[in-house]
Chain A
Amino acid sequence: MIAGKKREPAKWILSKELKDTSVIEETQGEEQGKPYIVTPLGTRVKRVIIAGTITSSSVEDNLTKATVADNSGAFYVSAFASGYNADAKFALDSMDHGSTVMLMGRVNPFKTEEGVFYFNINPEIVVRTDSPGIEMWKSRTVWIATRKIYAIREAFKSEESDSNHLSGLGYSAEESECALRARKYYHDYDFQEFAKIAESVLKFSQEDSRNAELKDIILAAIRKNDNDGKGCRYEDILSATLRDGVERVQVDEILNTLGSEGEIYEVSLKRFKAI
């Protein structure tokens, strides 16, 4: 960090918010580096913190490209072997498809001659994270977006509403400023649609979390009830899960998933063993 200069704050945003961005600020005279972008929710961004699952990657000596999905879309990441952030490239290289990561990086905007915007993230930090880390990021990011959407709705109610008015309604300075920028630059944006997608990210997330819990319950039941070494009976799995209000169809789905993930196998008809 340069002495006397504050670190550029990192914004937690969904990939949809980045993907739908169509405002790149002009850099002023002495300003250096990448320009700020202004997202549909009014977030003024240079640096982001994202989390998600690596869905594709291509590794070359000097450059690794990857996509990180967050249930609202995907972030595009380019990590270089040269420069200050070579460690981030090597960390990214060590991740497999399906790995879950937390990543902090600079947004690199690009606009084609046809007026199409592309946003690439050059990572400074790439760290493997687990389910609670992903959950925390998703729920917090959706919460931040939702509060911004509420503030934007208030800002749209009157052209005269300013940051004082929004602060008076309980919005933070950042939320108020974002709402006013959204009103200025994204008058026709479909905020309703965005809110729906943000909500679905949380729903996916809760389902993922519930499924992970169910897997643990079912695996424990199989291990516990394999008394005679011939495998756990399907009925015993059902009785162990019914207590938690799990439906039979969900149990069948999880058994299939555990089978395809190599965690269990069916020894004989309706008898299961954990590996």
Chain B
Amino acid sequence: MKAKIVSISSRNIHNERGESTYFYGYLGDETGTIPYTAWAFPSSLKVGDVIDMKNVYTKKYNDTIRVYLDSRSEVILDPSGSIEVKRVYREYKIKDLSLKDQYVDVRGIARSIRAREYEKDGKKQKVYQGFLEDESGRVRVSSFGREIPENKPIRAIGARVTEFNGRISLSINDKTEIKQSEEIIIPQYRMYFLQDVHGPVGGITITGFVVSVGEKSGIIYRCEECSKTIQDGSCPEHPDARKIEDVFAYFTIDDGTGSMQCSAGSDPLLSFLKIGKEAITNVDGKGKDEIHAAIRNALFGTPLIATGEFRRLKEDLSFRIEAMRKVEKPDLKAISSAMEADL
């Protein structure tokens, strides 16, 4: 088969046979693009090269056909070859974005877009950063050099999916086509069961019982300079900086389809506990114990409705809560509707 290399990435793996590197990306021709995995790949090849391949095979992986190249495959560079690659992008809902498909066709409404300047090769450039949300979820979005129309439904064809800091993000560049989209209705809650969440995206609401509360939940101290958590008396980077009190809780929610490690910072936690910031300021040892007990008593065994963002930590997802409250009667209708839709 003959194709153009559309992208190349590499990953190191470590197994019982030792350390090795494999390559992956996209190949393309006049009919479309296809992902590939190469266990062996000539290091001289680069994006844009046209190659002839022999003894390659295809296999379905994660619902997508991939081309595989191994030690028996032959790859020959065609220096005079030229292929106009037809880009084909699959449509995705934001909740279903993943690194399995890195270039996608996605609809959404851009929010909170802020421009930031940076320097590249001595030239000032602009990047626009914010969020893109649809009826299924919310992700961070960055656009290099192109302004993103805000608060209007748009369609980004050929946006790149990346994962940074454990969160799925979208990247828009000059090759991404941005069009106006049909209307997108953002629901009050994007309510999902844990069994249906596979990627680290935001704007999701989950409901369930809190089945454990972390022993270290309670008052913590942060460095006034860098906001990092102080473990041993003072910040190692700013030893003279003041310590500021903050409050934090980590706990597990079980929703019947799975369980999730959740964390909540001061905003959702103080609002949930119905106390002000003064309650966590200048507290002594007894006061700290009382705050810990208040968190535990309020959360443990409570039916909770929580909205936030999933993050990937190592292999597992965790849930960073932005707002939470105890499930009350009016919430039951929304919970039932989400279930009925899935029957």
Contact = CB atoms under 8 A, between A and B. Distances in A.
Interface in B315-343: 326-329, 331-332, 335-336, 339, 342-343
Interface string A143-169: 110110010000000000000000000
A129 B303 contact: yes
Contact of A129 (B207, B301, B328, B342): B301
A127 B254 CA distance: 14
Given A127-B300, A136-B332, A49 B339 contact: no
Dominant secondary structure of chain B at its interface with chain A: mixed
A132 B331 contact: yes
A98 interface: no
Nearest to B300: A127
Nearest to A127: B301
B339 A140 contact: yes
Given A131-B329, A132-B332, A140-B256, A49 B343 contact: no
Interface in B199-250: 207, 209, 211
B211 A104 contact: yes
Contacts of B211: 10, 49, 104, 125
A7 interface: yes
Contacts of B196: 172
A10 B195 contact: no
A136 B254 contact: no
A10 B210 CA distance: 12
A141 interface: yes
A194 interface: no
B329 to A, nearest CB: 6
Interface in B252-304: 252, 254-259, 300-303
A263 interface: no
Contacts of B331: 132
A179 to B, nearest CB: 15
Contacts of A140: 255-256, 335, 339
A132 B303 contact: yes
A7 B316 CA distance: 13
A147 B256 CA distance: 13
A35 B193 CA distance: 28
Given A10-B211, A125-B211, A143-B343, A136 B257 contact: no
B329 A147 contact: no
A2 B303 CA distance: 26
B339 A9 contact: no
A144 B300 contact: no
A9 B258 contact: yes
Nearest to A133: B303
A200 to B, nearest CB: 16
B210 to A, nearest CB: 9
Contacts of B195: 172, 174
Dominant secondary structure of chain A at its interface with chain B: helix
A133 B207 CA distance: 11
A218 B207 CA distance: 31
A10 B254 contact: yes
Nearest to A150: B343
A136 B339 contact: no
Given A125-B301, A132-B327, A174 B257 contact: yes
Contacts of A102: 209, 301, 303
A94 to B, nearest CB: 13
B209 A133 contact: yes
Contact of A139 (B259, B328, B332): B332
Contacts of A9: 254, 258-259
Nearest to B330: A132
A140 B327 CA distance: 13
Contacts of B329: 131-132, 135, 209, 213
Nearest to A11: B256
Given A12-B256, A140-B255, A147 B332 contact: no
Nearest to A91: B301
Interface in A8-35: 9-12
A141 B303 contact: no
A7 B259 contact: yes
Nearest to A175: B195
A110 to B, nearest CB: 26
B259 A10 contact: yes
Q: Which of B256, B331, B336 has the most CB of A within 10 A?
A: B256
Q: Which of A49, A128, A174, A213 has the most CB of B within 10 A?
A: A49
Contacts of B252: 7
Contact of A141 (B256, B326, B327, B342): B256
A26 B252 CA distance: 30
Contact of B335 (A131, A139, A141, A172): A139
B257 to A, nearest CB: 7
Nearest to B256: A12
Please give me the 7 A-B residue pairs with the lowest Cβ-Cβ distance, nearest first. A127-B301, A12-B256, A133-B303, A143-B339, A140-B256, A172-B195, A132-B327
17 contacts: A7-B252, A7-B259, A9-B254, A9-B258, A9-B259, A49-B209, A125-B211, A127-B300, A128-B301, A129-B301, A131-B329, A132-B329, A137-B303, A143-B343, A174-B257, A209-B329, A213-B329
Given A104-B211, A127-B301, A140-B255, 9 more contacts: A11-B256, A12-B256, A132-B303, A133-B327, A139-B335, A140-B335, A172-B195, A174-B257, A209-B329
